[in-house]
Amino acid sequence: MPQLEIKNLHVNIEDKEILKGLSLTIKQGEVHAIMGPNGTGKSTLAYTLMGHPNYTVTDGEVLLDGENVLEMEPDERSRAGIFLAFQYPVAIPGVTVANFLRSAINSRRRAANPEDKGMPIPEFRKMLKEKMDMLKMDHSFAGRYLNDGFSGGEKKRAEILQMAALKPRFAVLDETDSGLDIDALRIVSEGVNALSGSELGVLVITHYQRLLNYIKPQFVHVMMGGRIVESGGPDLALHLEEQGYDWLREKELSSE
């Protein structure tokens, strides 16, 4: 079964080490959640997986089908099947959601086959409507400029629509619940659940257990001090909600 394997990952930002030997394996069909206090490196992990240039890997590797994705450019990682839903999606005035998605899909097709003419417009429209119906989105959403004037919930739904259209093998959701009210959180979570299945591995990064009431992980990991210090099942998230992180401080210190 295909898997995304993170092995002994060390990452610096401006000469400061943030990730300090993080290891994690995600198989297709699995949903993992990473929780932890602010400043532990959760978003650093997400951006490193997608190849953000501000993050310098000093040791370790990330393997997808046995190939080290750290040697790939961000667009190559995307084509290999990795997707990142941003915590703070960027607005692109003048570019509609539909045009953005069609450009992304056609770019992938041409990278695989330079002679590919791109997805025909009727086929694209049919696909986009099917994905929007699955995510319970109004079709008019496709004609709006990407994230321009969007509410927090609309931005996150646009990210999930991108995930639906691009069909990755592994999706990283970086604090998807950030800035969402309960209704928006439920709608976004339903979209993620609709896409989950045997061909998609999901890594959910969050501070709070409330997101995990909607997106059900099989595995929960606690990240502190740039490492994973505890792993377990869904009950671990409930324990963190009740007890906080203080009981794990000793493990964090002993791992340094």
pLDDT tens for 185-236 read 888 898 899 898 899 999 999 987 888 989 999 999 999 999 999 999 999 9
Read off the pLDDT of residues 102-116 as tens digits, 9 standing for 90 and up: 999 999 999 889 999
Mean pLDDT of all residues belonging to the chain: 92
What percent of the chain clears pLDDT 70, i.e. is strictly above it? 97
The domains of the chain, with CATH numbers, are 3-92+153-254 (3.40.50.300)
**Mean of pLDDT values over 130-147:** 93
Read off the pLDDT of residues 14-72 as tens digits, 9 standing for 90 and up: 989 999 999 999 999 999 999 998 889 999 999 999 999 999 999 999 999 889 999 99
Residue 173: predicted pLDDT: 95
Cα 162 from Cα 180, distance rounded (Å): 18
Residue 52: predicted pLDDT: 95
